[in-house]
Amino acid sequence: MNTLQENHNELFKFLDTSTSPYHAVKNVREHLLEVNFTQLDEQAPWELSTGGYFIERDGSIAAWYFKESEEATNGLAIVSAHTDSPNLRLKPILKGHQVGLSQFGVEVYGGALLNSWLDRDLGISGRLITLSPNGDIKENLVQINEPLAKIPQLAIHLNRSVNENGLILNPQQHLRPIWNDTSSDTTDLIDFISAESGIDRQSIQSWDLMLHDLQKASYVGADRQWVASARIDNLTSCYASLSSFIKSVSDGRSKRVPILCLFNHEEVGSTSAAGAAGNLLPLLIQRIFKGKDYSEAMANSILVSADGAHATHPNYLEKHDLDHEIRMNAGIAIKRNSNERYATTAIGQATAQRICESNNIPYQLFNNRSDLACGSTIGPISSANLGISTIDLGIPQLSMHSTRELCGISDVAYLEDFLFNFLGS
């Protein structure tokens, strides 16, 4: 069953191929099916016995495992992360051209660092929705891993003060990718995607498509101690959550019901049917308990929200609280914030520290500068939605929300180790 752990190739493959939340879910699904989990349909009745199950909803996936049918009374141990990353998403109409170049419009999804999308070789992935002759609406995953699109930067000769005044990018005007000559036979992007993916153009109704940087994940540093990749936030946490969940199920130590919940839409606030603020997890829990009173079990439950943390940037020390210096490869960052931007309470912190200390897992304590607004995660949202104790923690990283982020390779293993021991605690 140990299909993932201690294997960087698997991590790199997961990072490279999960170019959209739908592809992240596909990858997770394949790993769960490999270890004999059963996919359930939310629209159908469920007959649950012992074993592993999972459901999917619009780029989110939740899995759980019953050792014995009555164990749910001991509570739930939930590991959660998010499948989405900030990026550029294609609009519903994709016909544009200027000065002989085919273009299309994009929307900015989440808090993307826009400059990081310039001059990159970009592919396209996501889902095409098709209508079959019998009226069925179907989701078809597509992934074009060819350098198709480019957002060319303006030459410095035409913007002489850019290095002094900073780069200002208007998302409507300056981020329109070019992808073909208008003199070419193919000027409709969906015609092109249809031909590339082998999906009948006439059946395509709509899409959720997005750009991705084609550069693959790689080691960086004199000792190859860091990983540079797209979507480190938050696919490294998805990977570590999945890996530790599968290992925990195989190990069978868990006293509580282990649940893996990877949500879409965190980067845009989680308020959606698939997001952490929706009813995916509350409804799942209701169905697990089959109409029984589960208030005691909920009081015994605990959730870990694993998400990227800011490592202290050596060139911007003034942006950090140096009492809470965070280093890559120095352990998972337990996140605290008095204004509930992170859900970890003092008790949650102590619980996480106990797991770390009894298993020799290094950890650090993150707290934002008091004069800067703090980011957030699905932790406070899930905590409020479920009313259960929640711990926010994650892997320290630099360049958060860039197309190319950076984290320490050892921290991924520390997070896996932590989550495995959390699930078994």
Asked if 213 interacts with Zn ion (CB under 5 A), we say no
Q: How far apart are CA 266 and CA 264, in angstroms?
A: 6
Q: Pick between residue 16 and residue 233 the one whose CB is nearest to Zn ion.
A: 233
Q: Pick between residue 254 and residue 402 the one whose CB is nearest to Zn ion.
A: 402
SS3 145: strand
Q: How many other C-beta atoms lie within 10 A of the C-beta of residue 113?
A: 14
Smallest distance, Zn ion to C-beta of residue 233, A: 4
Select from 86-94, 167-175, 225-233, 252-260 the region that touches Zn ion (CB under 5 A): 225-233
Smallest distance, Zn ion to C-beta of residue 402, A: 13
Smallest distance, Zn ion to C-beta of residue 372, A: 17
Asked if 392 interacts with Zn ion (CB under 5 A), we say no
Select from 45-53, 110-118, 193-201, 228-236 the region that touches Zn ion (CB under 5 A): 228-236
Q: Pick between residue 176 and residue 310 the one whose CB is nearest to Zn ion.
A: 310
SS3 295: helix
Q: Pick between residue 96 and residue 375 the one whose CB is nearest to Zn ion.
A: 375
Q: How far apart are CA 50 and CA 69, in angstroms?
A: 6
SS3 150: strand
Q: How far apart are CA 240 and CA 6, in angstroms?
A: 10
25 to 64, contacts with Zn ion by CB under 5 A? none
Q: Pick between residue 234 and residue 344 the one whose CB is nearest to Zn ion.
A: 234
Select from 126-134, 209-217, 229-237, 337-345 the region that touches Zn ion (CB under 5 A): 229-237
Q: Which of 233, 392, 411, 416 binds Zn ion (CB under 5 A)?
A: 233
SS3 letters across 58-77: CCEEEEEEECCCCHHHHCEE
Smallest distance, Zn ion to C-beta of residue 45, A: 35
Q: How many other C-beta atoms lie within 10 A of the C-beta of residue 423?
A: 27
Q: Pick between residue 233 and residue 416 the one whose CB is nearest to Zn ion.
A: 233
Smallest distance, Zn ion to C-beta of residue 266, A: 6
Size (the chain), residues: 425
Question: Which of left, alpha, beta for 291 (phi over 0: left; psi -120 to 50: alpha)?
Answer: left
Q: Pick between residue 234 and residue 368 the one whose CB is nearest to Zn ion.
A: 234
DSSP 166: -
Q: Pick between residue 96 and residue 110 the one whose CB is nearest to Zn ion.
A: 110
Interface size with Zn ion, residues (CB under 5 A): 4
Select from 151-159, 170-178, 227-235, 270-278 the region that touches Zn ion (CB under 5 A): 227-235
Radius of gyration of the chain (CA): 22
Q: Within the chain, what is the greatest distance between any pair of CA atoms?
A: 70
Smallest distance, Zn ion to C-beta of residue 269, A: 12
Q: Pick between residue 307 and residue 417 the one whose CB is nearest to Zn ion.
A: 307
Buried b (16+ CB within 10 A) or exposed e, 206-245: ebbbbbbbbeebeeeeeeeebbbbbbbbbbbbbbbbbbbb
Asked if 390 interacts with Zn ion (CB under 5 A), we say no
Smallest distance, Zn ion to C-beta of residue 264, A: 12
Q: What's the Cα-to-Cα distance from 359 to each of 161, 250, 253, 414, rounded to whole Å?
A: 53, 19, 15, 10
Q: Pick between residue 189 and residue 266 the one whose CB is nearest to Zn ion.
A: 266
Asked if 402 interacts with Zn ion (CB under 5 A), we say no
Q: Which of 102, 234, 312, 376 binds Zn ion (CB under 5 A)?
A: 234
Q: How many other C-beta atoms lie within 10 A of the C-beta of residue 103?
A: 20
281 to 340, contacts with Zn ion by CB under 5 A? 307-308
Smallest distance, Zn ion to C-beta of residue 113, A: 13
Smallest distance, Zn ion to C-beta of residue 367, A: 17
Buried b (16+ CB within 10 A) or exposed e, 284-315: bbebbbeeeebeebbebbbbbbbbbbbbbeee
Residue ranges binding Zn ion (CB under 5 A)? 233-234, 307-308
